[in-house]
Amino acid sequence: MSGHRAPSLLLNDEQRMLKKTAQEFIREKAPAARLRVLRDSKDELGFSRAVWNEMAELGWLGLQIPEQYGGLGLGFFDLCIVLEQSGRELMPEPFISTLLLGTQALLLGGTNEQKQALLPGVAAGERLLAIGYEEAGAPVVAKRTTDGFELNGQKLQVLDGHAADRIIVSAATGGGGASLFLIDPSQAGVSTTRQHRIDGLSSAILSLDGVAVRNDAIVGEMGKGASLLEAVLERACAGASAQMLGASEQAFADTIEYIKEREQFGVPIGSFQALQHRAVAVFTEIALTRSVVLAAARAIDGAPDDVPRLTSLAKAMASETFLHAAKEAIQMHGGIGVTDEHDIGFYLKRAHAAYMSFGKPSQHRQRWAELHDY
């Protein structure tokens, strides 16, 4: 341990302001109850373009995108402030697919041309991105052709793949290596089938049948796709954890409010110690989770050596906290908590989905152990 000063985990004045404005905007324009409406109306997208565009106008989609590509040039930490607020209302808009997966892949591995072509559109809310990397049975293979590659195979669970304007796909490029390719879903040979998830988000099955791409479709270095993807997923873990933190906070706040009001045996149920102590347990976990999420975001901006361990820590802890907060929220709401009419159930569904995404906590603990040489 050197005695150096650890990066601050506090927000500065502008960041506090951003947090407040984002919270108010989202509470008003994008309450969690929207998930029911979007589901029941069988909305084609599963989210609102209008809300997304308004957020673009407020500058929130380009917070971390450099100014030369149409963004504000702030840090990942600032992006996490908005992500946390989006999590409070379980927003189904494409934060993870576009801002975390797609944009981070371009920022970390994209050429100047690729960034120039896509990032201004992302910041403006016009372009949506996705990444396909999960597969089963039919791995995607890229075969060399005279002027590029031909892609064949299938990707699963491509988050927002049904709505994306560009999808980055990992494919085996021989010699055990993989590379990332940028493809246009409207291209010949590409088809996407939307998958409806329990948590109101959508993913897609992406089939590639003789899809021809040029050499300049490669993102990052040829054959080094796996390590680039790992760096992207670390950032996705941090950003998803910020969303889970916000969601945990909201589920918890709703629960505290409920147990202060609901009366049984002539007293508010929040006066029962059996509930109080469990509420404190959730409160404690949320406080710890806040620290690790902030630390992971800070590391992404300025301490690259700490990124692997702190992002795994954030993902593991935020997943456990959110799931616990959601389960306790339902239990403390009683019968109403398990009805579709009440919003609290959406928190459980998202908690489970988020827990399973980007590595379960047990996988991150294993990675943590490896990173600490045991």
Partner 1 sequence: MSELDSFREEARAWVRENAPKSLWGTSGSGPFEGYWGGSKCEETDPDLLRWRDLGIEKQWTAPSWPIEYGGGGLSREQEDIIHAEMKAIGVPRPVAGQGLAMFGPVLLEYGNDAQRAQHLPGIARGEVRWCQGYSEPNAGSDLANLQLKAERDGDAYVLNGQKTWTSHADLSDWIYCLTRTNPNAPKKQMGISVILADLSTPGITVRRIDLISGYSPFCETFFDNVRVPVANLVGKENEGWTIAKAILGHERSSIGRSIARQPGSAQREVVARARKHFSAEEGAIPDPLIRDEIASLGMLEEAFHLTLARIQESAATGTPGPEGSITKIVGSELKQMRFELGMKVAGIQGLGWEGPGFDEDDLQYTRDWLRSRATTIEGGSSEIQKNIVSKRVLGLPEGKK
Q: Which residues bind partner 1 (CB under 8 A)?
A: 1-3, 5-6, 8-10, 256, 259-260, 267-268, 270-273, 276-277, 279-281, 283-284, 287-292, 294-295, 313, 316-317, 362, 365-366, 368-370, 372-374
Q: Which is nearer to partner 1, 229 or 294 (CB)?
A: 294
Quote the DSSP letter at residue 47. S
Q: Which is nearer to partner 1, 294 or 323 (CB)?
A: 294
Cα separation, 103 vs 129, whole angstroms: 7
Q: Which is nearer to partner 1, 124 or 279 (CB)?
A: 279
User: At its nearest, how many Å lie between partner 1 and the CB of residue 133?
Assistant: 25
User: At its nearest, how many Å lie between partner 1 and the CB of residue 230?
Assistant: 19
User: At its nearest, how many Å lie between partner 1 and the CB of residue 339?
Assistant: 24
User: At its nearest, how many Å lie between partner 1 and the CB of residue 148?
Assistant: 42
Q: Which is nearer to partner 1, 166 or 290 (CB)?
A: 290
User: At its nearest, how many Å lie between partner 1 and the CB of residue 325?
Assistant: 14
User: At its nearest, how many Å lie between partner 1 and the CB of residue 374?
Assistant: 5
User: At its nearest, how many Å lie between partner 1 and the CB of residue 64?
Assistant: 22
Q: What is the 3-state secondary structure (H, E, C) of the chain?
A: CCCCCCCCCCCCHHHHHHHHHHHHHHHHHCCCCHHHHHHHCCCCCCCCHHHHHHHHHCCCCCCCCCHHHCCCCCCHHHHHHHHHHHHHCCCCCCHHHHHHHHHHHHHHHCCHHHHHHHHHHHHCCCCCEEEECECCCCCCEEEEECCEEEEEEEEEEEECCCCCCEEEEEEECCCCCEEEEEECCCCCCEEEEEEECCCCCEEEEEEEEEEEEEHHHEECCCCEHHHHHHHHHHHHHHHHHHHHHHHHHHHHHHHHHHHHHCEECCEEHHHCHHHHHHHHHHHHHHHHHHHHHHHHHHHHHHCHHHHHHHHHHHHHHHHHHHHHHHHHHHHHHHHHHHCCCCCHHHHHHHHHHHHHCCCCHHHHHHHHHHHCCC
Q: Which is nearer to partner 1, 17 or 281 (CB)?
A: 281
Q: Which is nearer to partner 1, 170 or 250 (CB)?
A: 250
Q: Which is nearer to partner 1, 188 or 274 (CB)?
A: 274
Q: Which is nearer to partner 1, 187 or 271 (CB)?
A: 271
User: At its nearest, how many Å lie between partner 1 and the CB of residue 157?
Assistant: 25
